[in-house]
Structure 1
């Protein structure tokens, strides 16, 4: 099944960097990466199938289906890409690297884990989210869940932006498919088979997946650098974009042989 998605683009030259957002977000989550990395790489950020500006898929998607949709995006823009995934996006990125290793030049996995299927309670909680969204509606759902995605000391403007992005991005049935894909995911057996070099990052104040879950990923991959991002919660790429982008560029300078350039964290 071919799945159409909306993609935001920035930059016109250099290697391809595909950004995959978390389960409660959209391409808007990568505004700081689209702006801050555009002079170095060609940045793509998708709205996952059934999210924000992407149409609803023609039928249910599991984790393989989301990974294959990301693979189609890469093929439509080039031969391969570096893939940056945040939270659920990191789970998709890892499955993508297993299913389509020829398409993944390297991985950047941020504030993620091996999936909610690693624990029955987490899996049940993930499956209940679709009913919560149906009962509350996108705005109240976002008001309830959004503030926990950043650190306790995050600026109010960032909290509001996270909530607004979630409210504008999530809807059924796409969110239900995403939640089920997470509930059934346990990537631990397949992580050692990932061949792409990886950078794993986690905010030191991540209250959602947390440092322990990111360490499971980093410890299982063979070619990994692991970074703790200070003063950041679950959305380290939004809360500390300058530090986050600098680590991404450092990784790409090694894996994509980017030339040394002066780095401007934001415009």
Structure 2
């Protein structure tokens, strides 16, 4: 990465009237959150699932709630506890600072289900969680389109065995098992209403922005939802990613092959100098 790339990125941000922040799992690493596809791997974080040879795609799956609901909620209950306890790193605040300078402010599009943008102070009305949120629940059998807050659910988890202790959460309408309102693998049961309303608000905002800049952070190509969205906004793209920084040189795209906090911090400082 050259200083010229940082200067060019800062110049784009100075000209922009709206900032779109797109983010994958890589943005959370500097907050201490695990990256399941990183060097440690998923089974290093959940050794009980490793011993049983259960891959991420099998536990993050609606079938897991039918086959072994206590194990499924052991996994998701642990994640819910973790995300509630995690403090977002300083880069989130720096992103807010960059967006606040623009006429149309900033919006967030993320595949993360952890709620870290809300926790960092971003407006709930300006976040699109395209894969849903662990902080919301739905009926596992889809008896209703209702989605409700998980705030009252306090999971107790046997971390060693990845098992939920105590009472399973239930749908208040029919009494069947509740599950996270998250788009899982092989998921035909996800209730997308909340996310679709978020997406509609995002589209309305983007239609009003004339000079859009997208800062994409930590979005990989294994599940390319965020990368595809970033590349098709019609605006300029700044990609912050240490492992997969590839861009299309024929388009208005820049790559900063850095970790999330380092890349955001350097970009913020370059904007202050600009």
TM-score (norm 1): 0.33
Comparing both chains, which one has the higher relative contact order based on Cα–Cα distances under 8 Å and sequence gaps of 6 or more?
2
Which of structures 1 and 2 has the bigger CA Rg? 2
Q: Which has the higher helix share?
A: 1
TM-score (norm 2): 0.33
